[in-house]
Each structure stands twice: as C-alpha cells, then as structure tokens.
Amino acid sequence: MAKKNRPKLNITMRRKLVVLYGLVLLAFVGLGARLLWIARENGAQYEKQVLSQQHYDSVTIPYRRGDIVDAKGTILATSEKVYNLIIDSSVMTYDDKYIEPTLNAVQQCFPDADITAIRNHVYANKEKEAGSRSAWYVALKQISYEDKQAFENMQNDPDNEDASLIKGVWFEDEYKRVYPNGSLAAHVIGFTKAGGQNEGQYGLEEYYNDMLNGIDGREYGYMNDDATLERTVKPAVDGYTIHSSIDANVQSVIEKYLKQFNDEHVNGNKDGNGAEHIACIAMEVDTGRVLGMAEYPTFDLNNTRDTTPLLGTRAYEMITNDNGYQVIKKTDTVITQEVLDEMPDDQVYLNLNNLWKNFCISNTYEPGSTAKPFTVAAALESGTITGNEVYACNGFLTKSEHKIKCHNYKSGGCGEVSVTNSIAWSCNVALMKIGDTLGKKRFCEFQRIFNFGLKTNIDLAGEARTATLIYTPDQMVDSDLATNTFGQNFNTTMIQMITGYCSLINGGYYYEPHIVDKITNANGATIKNIEPRVLKQTVSESTSAFIRNATRETVMQGGRATGSTARPAGYAIGGKTGTAETIPRGNNEYVVSFMGHAPADDPKVAIYVVVDRANNWKQDDAKYATGIVRNIFTEILPYLNIFMTEELSEKEIKELEEKQIAITNMYTTPSEEEGESTTGENKDTSSSETVTDSTGETALKVPAWMSYPIDSATGYRVDPKTGNQFDAKTGEPITDTSVLDDDVPVNSNIINVQDDAGGVE
C-alpha cells in the first residue's frame, strides 16, 4: 500500500503522532507491569481475602429441633418458629424517601424495638459510601408470627400511601423452644439452654440432644459454568421427634397429688414445703416403660430461672470441707424471699441447679423397709429359706454387740412371724434372721442381681452412681448385714428400687427401664423403636409369686399389716411401706415411702412414692406415702383400663362419687378464683375432719386422704390429726419405722451423701 498527497504541513504532526503513540505504549507497559506486580506480590493474600469474605455470603437456614411427645401424642416440648427483625440499611438508604416511612412503620409495629438505635444505625450507614459492609442489623429477636404478619400487612396495604416506601426490612427465621404444659413433667423433659441455643440440659432434652437436633441448611447464590446465576438451597434437616412413654394424664394426676400433699403439709412443723422432696414413679411392670415420673417442688420449663419454686426449700451452699474439697452442703436455712434477696447469684444458681435435678434418678437415700421384699426374695431364691419358716420376734436382736430393734420394740416385739408376715408386718427381727441364713456374700451377690450399686441405664440424663453406696462382703460386719436386710445403711435411687421391684413381681424379668418408646423423623417415619429389653432374670416365678402374695398381704391383710392405707377403693393391690431413718440417726428425720403394684395378682402397673422428711413433728408415718399412692391409684387405675375386683362399701362408693364431682369441678370451674377456693375448702375439710369423725357426720365434700376407709378396713381407730398417738394405746402400731440406736454403725460412704447434693457424679 502506498499513500499519496501528503500535505507538507502534516509532517511534524505525523512525527508527533508517533511520539504520542510511543508515550501511550510506554504508559500501557507501565500499567501492565503494575498489574503483574499486584498479582505476584499480593495474589495469594488477596485470594484468601476473597475466599474469606465470600464465606459470610451465604444464609444459614436453621433446623427445627424435634418435638418431645407423650405416649398419646400430646406435645410436651416443641419448637416454635419465630422471627428476627433485620434492618438492611443499604436498601433503606438507597433513596432518602424510604428512610422515615420505614422507620415509622417499624416503630408502629414493633414498639419493643429500640428505634433510636435503629435510626442511629441507618444514618451512620448512610454517611458511609455505598458498599459499606455493616448494613445488616438485628433490631429485635424472636418476634411472633402475628407481629411479623402485622408488619407485612402494613407493607402490602393498598390504602397505605407510604407502603411502597417501606424498604429494607427483612425477617430471619429462628426457632424458640416452647413447653406447652409449663411445669408438667419438667424434671423428665429438661430444657434447652437460654438464648435459643439448641443444647439440652437435664432430662430427655439432654439425653436425646443429638437426636433432637438437626442439621442447619444453607442458601447461597453463585455463578455456574455458564456464568448464569444459580441460587442453591440446601434445606435444613429437622431434628427427630422423641415419643416418650410418659402419659401426660398419668403424669398430671401424679403431680396433682404430690402438690396436694405439699399443700397439706406446708409450714406444718416449721416453715417451708410439705417435705424436702415428694417424688413418684409409675412404671409398666411387664415392659419397664415409665408412665409417670414427678417430684415436688418442680419448676416451669418456660421460665427455668424463676426463683419462686425455691421458696420453702432448704438452701444449699458450696463449702470447703475438712479435706479441702469444695462440696455442696444442705443448710438448715429455709429459703424465703428475704434469704433469696441476699443470696449471691452463684448461690441462687446452685440452688436452681438442685431444683432442676431429677430426684427420681439423681438422688440417693436409704430405702428402708421397701428393701425387705428383696431380702426375702434373695433368701427364697438361694434356697436358704423355704418360705414356711416362722421366726420369733421379741423386739430386738443383738448384732456385733449392738442392739438392733424392731419397730414395735416398746410393745415387746411381733411374736411369731411367718416369712409372709415378715413383709406384711415389716418385722426387722425376722428379716435379720433371714439375712443370717443368706450370709454376707450371698446377700451382696443378690444386691448386685437386683442391680443395686449399678446404674439402671434409664434414658435420662443425670442418673446417680451408687457403686460406693452399697457394701461389699469384705467390708461388711454382722450389724451391717442386719441393717441392710431392712434397707438401712445402703443407698439406692428411686429408679433402682422400682425397676427391681417390677422384676420381683413380674416373674423375675428385669427390664431395662426406659422413658422413650420411639424416635421418628420430622416426616413421621420411624427411625428407631425402643422395645422392652429384659436384662436378666432376677428371681424365679415361684419366688415372684411368693412376693406377690406377701405384698398383697401387706395391703390387704389388715390387722398389723402396714400397707392397708394404700389400698384404693375397689382394688386389690400389693405393696410395701418403708420408713427409713436418715443420717444423722436419732434426730427424728425419716424418708417414708410406699412401693406397690396393681392389680395384686396380675401386676400391670407399679408405683413408688417417696416422701423425704415430711414437714410434720412426726415424720415416721408411712401413711404420708400410702395416702398419695391411694389417691393416685384411685384415679389412674380406671384410666389404665384396670378394673375393680373388690366390692365397694357404701362409704367407699360415696367417697368415689365425691371424688368424681371434685375432679369434674376441677375441669369445669370457670375461673381460677373458684379453683382456689376449692383448695381452701379442701383444707377446711381436713381440719374439720376430727369433728366429723366424732360426730359421725358423713357430709364431707372432699374426702381426706387418710380417713374412714382405713377404719372400716382394719378396725383401727385412726385419727388423722393425732392418729399416731392413739395407735400406741391399742398396742399395735401400724408404722414400720426402723428405729436405729445411735450406736449402730453407719455406712461411712452414705453419710456424706445424705445431706449433700445427692451423690451425682
């Protein structure tokens, strides 16, 4: 190519043009070098930077923690969707006209939100250049769906002129743990940590934490290979639902009567609750399923930090003991509002922790005479007795040079006692003699067979270890064996006792106790079925039949038998009372209990009630426990489809009718006030009972728990107020109190357990 006609004038221009091009070329080279330098010097660091900031770009979709439901599907714990209010100031400040209408709308719909803080945030963000990173602001947490809906309605309201100007407000999903029944089965269910964390504490929430929790999902946008936008949602996997064997109806009946006992004995002998602990377990005999498990005092699962339930309990404090260890000790102080006000926060927390603990599995105590059937069963099973023996009881037996008394030592002993009656009358001397036939080694073997000293492995968090709280044969002296035969000087938990008892009466099958039947996923598909599991055979069927008969005699025999007061009208049941002296001995403090089953001959349901140190000047009265059992059985046996087998006396019919009316009233009473007045009446009635009794009037609105039926069944004259005094007059005590003299040696391992937090590891 050649070009023509170049004007002379342009020659210098052309030269300068080349120079210009050269300069541009130079600049390009310079810039190219600069780019290369950036990539070489900072490439690695910038790459990390890009990846790290990208990390925060995706949105987490929270999973929903699974529900806990009872055997009938009643929801005990659930997770409710709530919303967090998010202010996105980068959107809100995109145009100045959005800011004020949006802030006004937020203020109007969410009066709880700190509008000043939001305003400050928005304007602080507006001052900065676009792209500033802190545009996201969580203004309010856990808003209900209704509140969110109200805001969205306002935003979409066609009549609202400003609606289109409301911008930059989002809602983020979150879940909140809710317990629809408040305090129902609080100790069994447990709760989750405060602040929306899905971490279970205590009970099922802790034990099944991993099952209940799911996996968070994620939502993120990215460019795919075709450079198009992809919005990917990896959905959250919701947690599994736990189906408990607890029956909410059984549970609430149990809780009602535990509370009733408390209300009747509150501020009795001294200020404070009706007892230190009142606890109950109901278990299905042939499966080990727990139907109900409760204790008083309890707490509200929706407000676990509430200190009101602490009022009336004995305060715990952390002290340094003689060996220099920090231990938690029970003090004699009863918590009142004044005490609470002065208590430092960590002490309050200590006491709350103790309140949250499940007495039924975490606390240990000396079981007392409820251990007698175990001793007898062990002797029968090992063949050291036949069951036909008759023992003579003159009120005491001397062991290791200590005089160990029977409960009717003062009236000269029980006389001739058959093996059956050793249980029915709760004779310590007979038991000590049976224990002698067993010997220390075999006794300890059988304790192991009955699972004492071992965990039951119930599926609840916080089961106590009792390995050190029972004897080994080499540690035992004669007096230890003697006291052990009637349940003193070794510690058990309630769950150990009732699980072992079920095996004694069901033909010897020791079922692993469990409180969860089934685990399903969020769609309802079964993940795991928890079938009843027989761990071992403790005794043979013939021994079991003997124990069933002996426990039946305890309740049904009348006369000197100790358990008559536990019998619900119309039913034949079996059971065993227990009254154990606490440590230190001799200060008149007792744990009374009743362990029973119904029906007597074909056990379906077993129950165990423990009243730890009742608030009464006289604590050693098994009627505290039998009364509760009777009330509970009266209500739950019909519910569990266990029918009456015994004839009802007129008095019993009347009593049942009144009870039915009282229960119906409970659910139909329109207002709370009247409900309370009913309780008031209740109290009045029990106080006026003496009067009614002496005058022969039967116009009782609500039957008291230790009233006429006892009289009619046994022929005893038992005055509910002062009954124990009059008992002595007849010379035939109906208590089975173990009165251990101060000099009887005490298992050193259980001394500390008795008063401290209860021997939980």
Partner 1 sequence: MAEIKDITEARKKILGNYFDYSMLFMVIFLLGFGLLMVYSASSYTSEQSYGDAAYYLKRQFIADVLGIIAMFVVMFIPYKFWSKFPIAAYAISIVSIILIIPFGIESHGAKRWLKVAFGFNVQPAEIAKLCMIVVLAVVVAKMGKGIRAWKGFFVAIGWSLPIAALIRLITNNMSSALIVVGIAFLMVFVASPDYKKFILMVLAGAALFAVLVLVARAGMSNGNFRFGRLAVWLDPESQAQGQGFQVLQGLYAIGSGGIFGKGLGESMQKINYLPEAQNDMIFSVVCEELGIFGAFGIMLIFLLLLWRMMIVAQNAKDSFGLMLVVGVMAHIAIQVMLNIAVVSNSIPNTGVSLPFISYGGSSVLFLMAEIGLVFSVARGIEVSQS
For partner 1, which stretch binds (CB under 8 A), given 226-234, 436-444, 587-595, 668-676?
226-234
The smaller minimum CB distance to partner 1, of residues 133 and 270, is found at 133
- Residue 15 or 701: the one with the smaller Cβ distance to partner 1 is 15
Name 637's bridge partners: none
**Cα–Cα distances in Å, from 569 out to 119, 540, 651, 693?**
70, 31, 10, 19
**What is the rounded CA–CA span in Å between residue 677 and residue 292?**
28
Cα separation, 510 vs 495, in Å, equals 12
Of 21 and 123, CB closest to partner 1: 21
- Where does residue 412 fall: left (phi above 0), alpha (psi -120 to 50 degrees), or beta otherwise? left
Q: Is 50 in the site for partner 1 (CB under 8 A)?
A: yes
CA distance 125 to 121: 6
Residue number, 224 or 671, with CB nearest to partner 1: 224
Alpha helices of 640-707 — where are they, by DSSP H? 650-668, 672-687, 689-695
Note whether 16 binds partner 1 by CB under 8 A.
Answer: yes
Interface region with partner 1, contact rule CB under 8 A, candidates 222-230, 276-284, 376-384, 476-484: 222-230
Do residues 553 and 423 lie in contact, with contact meaning Cβ atoms separated by under 8 Å? Answer: yes
DSSP state of 239: P
Contact pattern from residue 267 through residue 296 relative to partner 1, giving x for each residue in contact according to CB under 8 A and a dash for the rest: ------------------------------
1 binds partner 1 (CB under 8 A): yes
B/e letters for 319-338, b = 16+ CB within 10 Å, e = fewer, are: eeeeeeeeebebeeebbeee
From 111, 116, 161, 229, residue interacting with partner 1 (rule: CB under 8 A): 229
Contact string 117-136 vs partner 1 (x = CB under 8 A): -----------xxxxxxx--
Smallest distance from partner 1 to CB 231, Å: 8
**If binding means CB under 8 A, how many residues of this protein chain bind partner 1?**
56
Q: Do 135 and 90 meet the contact criterion of CB atoms below 8 Å apart?
A: yes
Q: How near is the Cβ of 96 to partner 1 at its closest, in Å? A: 10
Contact characters 81-120, partner 1, x per CB under 8 A = ----------------------------------------
Q: Rg (Cα) of the chain, in Å, rounded? A: 36
Shortest separation between residue 167's beta carbon and partner 1, angstroms: 12
- Does 525 bind partner 1 (CB under 8 A)? Our answer is no
- Report if residue 227 touches partner 1, rule: CB under 8 A: yes
Among 73, 180, 182, 221, binds partner 1 (CB under 8 A): 221
Q: For residues 30-49, which are near partner 1 according to CB under 8 A?
A: 31-32, 34-36, 38-39, 42-43, 45-47, 49
Secondary structure of residue 65 in the 3-state scheme? coil
Among 123, 145, 170, 222, binds partner 1 (CB under 8 A): 222
Report the Cα–Cα distance between both ends of the chain, in Å, rounded. 100
Examine residue 228 and tell whether it contacts partner 1 (CB under 8 A).
yes
Of positions 146, 210, 225, 761, contacts partner 1 by CB under 8 A: 225
Give phi and psi for 425, each to the nearest 5.
-90, -10
**At how many degrees (to 10) do helices 650-668 and 672-687 cross?**
150
**How far apart are CB 281 and partner 1 at their closest, in Å?**
57
**Which pairing describes strands 509-511 and 75-88: parallel, antiparallel, or unpaired?**
unpaired
Where helices occur in 94-138 by DSSP H, the ranges are 96-109, 115-127
CB of 55 to partner 1, least distance (A): 10
Q: C-beta of 222: minimal distance to partner 1 in Å? A: 7
SS3 of 618-641: the string is CCCCCHHHHHHHHHHHHHHHHHCC
Q: If DSSP states are collapsed to H, E and C, what string results for 379-396? A: HHHHCCCCCCCEEEECCE
**At 31, which helix (H) or strand (E)?**
helix 10-55
Q: Which of 161, 223, 401, 672 binds partner 1 (CB under 8 A)?
A: 223
Told to check if 12 binds partner 1 by CB under 8 A, we report: yes
Binding string, 52-81, against partner 1, x = CB under 8 A? Answer: -xx--x------------------------
Residue number with CB closer to partner 1 (226 or 742): 226
Give yes or no for residue 748 binding partner 1 (CB under 8 A): no
- By C-beta, is 108 or 232 nearer to partner 1? 232
> CA-CA distance, 531 to 419, in Å (whole number)?
36
Nearest to 281 by CA among 750, 625, 755: 625
Pick between residue 223 and residue 699 the one whose CB is nearest to partner 1.
223
Please provide the DSSP assignment of 412-453 as one string.
Answer: T--EEEEHHHHHHTT-HHHHHHHHHHHHHHHHHHHHHHTTTT
Least separation, in Å, of the C-beta of 99 and partner 1?
15
Polymer length in residues for the chain:
761
| 334 to 373: interface string for partner 1, x by CB under 8 A | ----------------------------------------
Closer to partner 1 by Cβ: residue 221 or 584: 221
Beta strand pairing status for 415-418 and 402-405?
unpaired
- Give the separation between CA 176 and CA 90, rounded to whole angstroms: 29
The vertex-264 CA angle with 259 and 270, nearest 5°, equals 110
Nearest to partner 1 of 6, 729 (CB atom): 6
Q: Does residue 87 sit in helix, strand or coil?
A: strand
CB closer to partner 1, 32 vs 180: 32
Q: Which two tokens stand for residue 372?
A: 């007698």
The interface region with partner 1, picked from 12-20, 63-71, 264-272, 465-473 by CB under 8 A, is 12-20
Q: Given the rule CB under 8 A, which residues bind partner 1?
A: 1-7, 9-10, 12-18, 20-21, 24-25, 27-28, 31-32, 34-36, 38-39, 42-43, 45-47, 49-51, 53-54, 57, 128-134, 221-229
